[in-house]
Amino acid sequence: MTVMLPWVLRPLAEAGRWLSTPLSPEDYLSLLDPLWPAGELRGRVEGVHPETADATTLVIRPGRGWRAHLPGQWVRIGVDIEGRRHWRTYSLSSPPHRPDGRITITVKATPGGFVSRHLARSITPGTIVRLAGPDGVFVVPEPTPPRLLFLTAGSGITPVMAMLGSLLSEEIAADAGHRPPDVVLIHSAPTPQEVIFGDRLRRLAARSPYLRLHERHTRSAGRLRPADLAGLCPDWTQRAVWACGPPGMLDELAAQWPGPARRLRIERFTESLLPAASAAGAAGGRVRFTTTGRETDADGATPLLTVGENAGVLMPSGCRMGICHTCVAPLRSGRVRDLRSGLVHGDAGDLIQTCVSAAAGPLELEL
């Protein structure tokens, strides 16, 4: 626990630890208030609001120890499904410092997405979840650039929603003479009904002269290409750009962006892994977890994160797709295969992303 305590409370906390040994005072206080433990940050789901047919906003009251996020950052959420804890990373869709102190994430159920389907369809108000973060660098810097362009698709709107909320509330506060930023949002979704936050975005755009919204309905108009951008936003290369959406769109944009790299900020929700088939033939090896003393055999295609979880090791994990670096662990010996590139790498002491690395021969991890 890193919470600073006033000097009077410190002896009291120490006494509490002696009285509650071998547990901690938090273990008992959480019986009264499940949101109490700051050592294991928690949140309570207090609202479940459907946004589209397959996307749902969860309103969460964070427990003691939560620090306010910056618009655009993500939170890790740990949820128990069928008795097992699963951690996933979601962008916060709420602006920071909501008057009610709550935060929101907006989850789109993806086909085959075990956790996203649970969060979007089955979770009920009152559920206690674990939280970690917030974190992430997909944020609007200070001072705010005068001209901004947001390029989003699908659930990629969620971090941008938090930014818009914050930018527009600044707009209200800008009466004192600040020049409000000029914001363009180009958002893609298959149909008007499938635009997450569709109504709110349209209302915002109708109300605010500083926000221009362009919706691209891809089922009728086709996918947005970088070449289309000049027509929709002629000064797009002059703007500071934030892009969030499917990997194909982001790769294309990154390849064709003509402006300076620092002005294009990209947030990825998914990372394309090697198809299982191409890694399936690769040899694995014996994996030893040195801290816990557990050992198991791993093939060359299964992420070490899964290997460890199946062996009963408490593996730290987050996005499970190579983005958030929550799962990193020091390699003691051996080498690993990066499941995204197929590259075999690793020296003793390297920090390995266990969610996108498989065993390339016998190895030891400090976990």
Partner 1 sequence: MTATAHLTLDDVEEFGRELDKIREEVLADLGDRDARYIRDVIAVQRRLEVGGRVMLLASWLPPAWLAGTAALATAKILENMEIGHNVLHGQWDWMRDPKIHSTTWEWDIVCPADLWKHSHNFVHHTWTNVLGKDRDIGYSAMRITPEQDWRPIYLAQPFYNVLLALFFEYGIAIYDLELERVPSGEKTPADVLAQLGVVARKVRRQVVKDYVAFPLLAGPAFLPALLANLTANLARNVWAHTIIFCGHFPAGAEFFTEDRLDGETRGEWYVRQLLGSCNIDGGRLFHIMSGNLGHQIEHHLFPDLPSNRYAEIAPRVRALCDRYGLAYTSDSLARQVGSVWKRVLRLALP
By CB under 8 A, tell whether 85 contacts partner 1. yes
Q: Which residue has the tokens 């527009």?
A: 168
Name which of 55 and 313 has its Cβ closer to partner 1: 313
Name which of 40 and 215 has its Cβ closer to partner 1: 40
Name which of 33 and 80 has its Cβ closer to partner 1: 80
Q: Which stretch binds partner 1 (CB under 8 A): 195-203, 223-231, 308-316, 341-349?
A: 308-316
Q: In what order do the strands lie in the sheet with 357-359?
A: 344-345, 336-338, 357-359
Q: Is the dihedral of CA 357, 358, 362, 366 positive or negative?
A: positive
Of the candidates 108, 64, 68, 67, which has an alpha carbon nearest to the alpha carbon of residue 88? 108
Closest distance between partner 1 and the C-beta of residue 63, in Å? Answer: 14
By CB under 8 A, tell whether 7 contacts partner 1. no
Q: Binding residue for partner 1 (CB under 8 A) from 2, 4, 22, 67?
A: 22
By CB under 8 A, tell whether 199 contacts partner 1. no
Distances (CA, A) of 118 to 93, 109, 190, 208, 215: 18, 8, 23, 36, 29
Tally of CB atoms within 10 A around 106 = 26
Q: Which stretch binds partner 1 (CB under 8 A): 83-91, 147-155, 206-214, 280-288?
A: 83-91
Q: Binding residue for partner 1 (CB under 8 A) from 40, 46, 171, 366?
A: 40
By CB under 8 A, tell whether 114 contacts partner 1. no
Q: In what order do the strands lie in the sheet with 285-289?
A: 294-298, 285-289, 363-365, 328-333, 351-353
Cα 306 to the chain's mean position, in Å? 20
The rounded distance, in Å, linking the Cα atoms of 155 and 267 is 11
By CB under 8 A, tell whether 295 contacts partner 1. no
Name which of 43 and 136 has its Cβ closer to partner 1: 43
Query: Which spans of this chain sit near partner 1 (rule: CB under 8 A)?
Result: 15, 18-19, 21-23, 27-28, 31, 40, 80, 82-86, 291-292, 309, 312-315
